[in-house]
A and B are shown apart, each in its own frame.
Chain A
Amino acid sequence: MRKILKNEGVQSLLTSLICIIVGMFVGYLVLLLIEPTGAFEAIMSVAKNFLGYSRTNMQLKHLGTTLAKTAPLIMCSLSILFSYKVGLFNIGAAGQYVMGACACLYGALGFGWGWLPCLLFAAFAGAAFGVITGALKAYCNVNEVISGIMLNWIGLYFTNMVLTNVKDASSAYTYALKAKGKDAILPTLGLEEFFSRNKYVGIAIPLAIIFAILVWVVLNKTKFGYELKATGYNKNAAKYCGMAEKRNIIVSLAISGALAGLAGAFLYQTDIEQWKVTISSVPTMGFNGIAAAFLGGLNPIGAIFSSFFIQHITEGGTHVDLTIYCSQISELISALIIYLCGFVGFLKMLINTSLAKSEEKHAKKKAEKGGDK
């Protein structure tokens, strides 16, 4: 038992589960405060999401929708955790995601490109925004959180401006890809058949998982990843050891930005949603990426599962009885979970100190027994 608890991965899993349970519980309390009757059903429909449907094919269809939206979230959380490992808090992922959406939609609708060039263009746009943040951090010492936030808003207004050119004058939404940019829709690889003809399920999901594995390999198994992490732990020590710490900061934010840019493409190139050019707040996807990254214990593989969970409850929020409650309850729960993730360090310390104490006791007992003989 003690051995299992000592394992870093087990501790992460345990603390994440605690965050989820406490977050859901507080969400339930909020629902109770709004209207006691029906609160339990409401929190259950958040937790159940697609499982709330009785027929298997409907379950599969809605599972498909959840998965289609999970893929971009995985990319966002990879973006956040990659830069976090390098000691940078890339809150600008939200803006890089927006830029990715802008690039792929304009590539598809404005230039009439196919899906692959659109994907690459999105990655490039996200990376460009990442480089701005990185260069400001490396050369001008601008805090990456502040510049990231500023770029989020700049990106949002820029996207609204650019995408106004690829929409119908009477609508606030950009053209649907299936009408004006068929080539840019991501291939489904036959996955749609499995998910009851849910045409939004496609290559994005396996690609996101491959990227998660890639990020894990780069961070843990390559010299490049080691250098990036070393820069994150101690910039000055890294510089002393002959690593180009400025270059490392910029490169890691560029990669982080490219991942977030791809996230935008993974959502909008499935055609599941169109961009609304009148929105005045940065989409929550990038911020949910923070929740997913920390909930996954800052591990790329963990991020796959935590992203699915966050998307699962976000979708679940739309299933609550909207005449009494509102769907933002799931946003509230994921925000609570992020907040609780702040306590993870403390929880781990608690586990470790209690482990050390019980070990000491154990050792003492052993010593006493030895003494009796």
Chain B
Amino acid sequence: MVLLVQYTILFACILMLVALGGCFSEHSGVINLGLEGIMVMGAMGGALMMRYLPDGTSAFVVVAATILAALLIGMLYSALLAVAAIHFKADQTLVGTAMNILGTAAATVIVKSINTINNPDDHSSIVQYIEEKKAFIVNIGGFEFNWLMLLAVFVLVVSFVVLYKTKFGLRLMACGEHPQAADSVGINVYKMRWAGVLISGALGGLGGIMYITAGVSEWKFEYGVAGFGFLSLAVMIFGKWKPQNIALAALLFGFFRALSNVYAGFDFLVELNIPGGLYNMLPYIVSLVVLAFTSKRSSAPKAEGIPYDKGAR
């Protein structure tokens, strides 16, 4: 039971972080379908940082450096989307899709080459971080508290405040609703969209490192992040692009995702004799059903996905 709660919170935090990232990007007017790829790249940045930190680094430095690496790589990678979508009016769906494939491919190539250079017989795409991972975790009576959980809650509060209570957030949202109007009162739409995409890159990278440190101590980068970026988008849509709703939606999705990890620990679930594959499908099926019921009246930012053209009326 503790395990179920732990995994639910863990997965909910990951989904929430990435969904909040998507939320910033979409409120600025850019659809970020590349979150999956951003997560992979951020995870790679964090994992490599953990590997190359010298032994005996203090726990605080390990956590801070890893988070920083994931944030930076995520932001850097999201710049690919920003350039294409903001300045070159590219099809955002296409570019996002490309970034997802590119993210997994690039991370695999990078990790494999590093592994092969270190040891010519090693052609795997695995990074191990058994010792370093312990820095993230505090054990409280069987419940493994992860510092990243605290960070996720912090990000949630900050996102809410930034979006609704600051000049920056309100301007950002204006750019996603009616960029021409925003421009006419002197807001630089391009700058705001860059900010939105970069924030989503940072949060996506953070979600990525949290995902690969959840439960396991090594990661094979060929696997990517198993559709978590897209689940986060479903969370964002279900949460109606509002941080507080996103948090609740993430808890629901996190629960079903956790169930597929730990169902074997519940006697009554095992007795039902449902094949394991079904539990794996569950989060995706739930998200489809939920989307079917909540998408009718869309509360998406009005101008999302449309490249901003100064000359258009």
Contacts and interface: CB of A to CB of B under 8 A. Distances in A.
A322 B124 CA distance: 12
B285 A335 contact: no
Would you call the interface of chain A mostly helix, strand, loop, or mixed?
helix
Contacts of A290: 94, 97-98
Given A30-B109, A157-B280, A345-B89, A145 B95 contact: no
A192 interface: no
A141 interface: yes
Nearest to A294: B94
A326 B109 contact: yes
Given A146-B233, A150-B284, A332-B109, A338 B292 contact: no
A64 B91 CA distance: 35
B222 interface: yes
Contacts of A294: 94
Interface stretch (A10-18, A238-246, A252-260, A279-287): A279-287
Interface string B204-248: 000000000000000000111011001001100100000000000
B98 to A, nearest CB: 4
Contacts of A157: 277-278, 280-281
Nearest to A135: B292
Interface string A325-348: 110110110111011011101100
Interface in B72-87: 80, 84
Contacts, number: 145
Interface in B124-143: none
Nearest to A160: B277
B101 A331 contact: yes
B48 interface: no
A322 B121 CA distance: 10
A102 B163 CA distance: 46
A161 B275 contact: yes
Interface string A150-185: 111110011011000000000000000000000000
Interface string B263-293: 0000000000001011011001101100111
B188 interface: no
Given A146-B234, A149-B230, A345-B89, A287 B97 contact: yes
A42 B296 CA distance: 51
B295 A143 contact: yes
A55 B35 CA distance: 46
Contact of A158 (B104, B105, B281): B281
Contacts of A338: 94, 97-98, 101-102
Contacts of B33: 145
A134 B109 CA distance: 36
Nearest to A280: B223
Nearest to B114: A34
A30 B93 CA distance: 26
Given A146-B230, A326-B112, 5 more contacts: A136-B291, A140-B295, A161-B277, A326-B109, A343-B90
Interface of B: 33, 80, 84, 88-91, 93-95, 97-99, 101-102, 104-106, 108-109, 112-113, 116-117, 120, 123, 222-224, 226-227, 230, 233-234, 237, 275, 277-278, 280-281, 284-285, 287-288, 291-293, 295-296, 298
11 contacts: A142-B288, A142-B295, A145-B33, A150-B230, A153-B284, A157-B277, A161-B278, A342-B90, A342-B95, A343-B88, A346-B90
7 shortest A-B CB distances, which residue pairs?
A342-B90, A335-B102, A338-B98, A339-B98, A161-B277, A331-B105, A335-B101
